[in-house]
Amino acid sequence: MSNYNAQDFLNGQVLLIDKPLEWTSFQALNKVRYALKKTFNIKKIKVGHAGTLDPLATGLLIICTGKQTKNISEYMGLPKTYTGTVFLGASTPSYDLETQPDKHYSTEHITEELVRKTIKQFIGDIWQVPPIFSAIRKDGRKAYEAARKGEEIDLPARKVHISKFVITRFELPEIDFEINCSKGTYIRSLAHDFGKALDSGGYLKALRRTQIGDFSVNDAPGPVEFAEKLSKPGY
Distance in angstroms (rounded) separating the CA atoms of residues 96 and 21: 14
Q: Which residues of 23-42 are buried (b: 16+ CB within 10 A; e: fewer)?
A: bebeebbebbbebbbebbeb
232's CB contacts (< 8 A; 6+ apart) are 1, 2
Cβ burial, residue 89 (10 Å; 0-12/13-18/19+): buried
Q: Which residues face 203 on adjacent strands?
A: 87
From first CA to last CA, the distance across the chain in angstroms is 4
Active site residues: 54
Would you say 232 and 32 are in contact if contact means Cβ atoms under 8 Å apart?
no
Distance in angstroms (rounded) separating the CA atoms of residues 164 and 82: 10
E strand residue ranges, 151-221: 158-171, 174-181, 202-212, 215-216
Provide the pairing of β-strand 57-65 with 202-212.
parallel
7's CB contacts (< 8 A; 6+ apart) are none
Distance in angstroms (rounded) separating the CA atoms of residues 44 and 31: 14
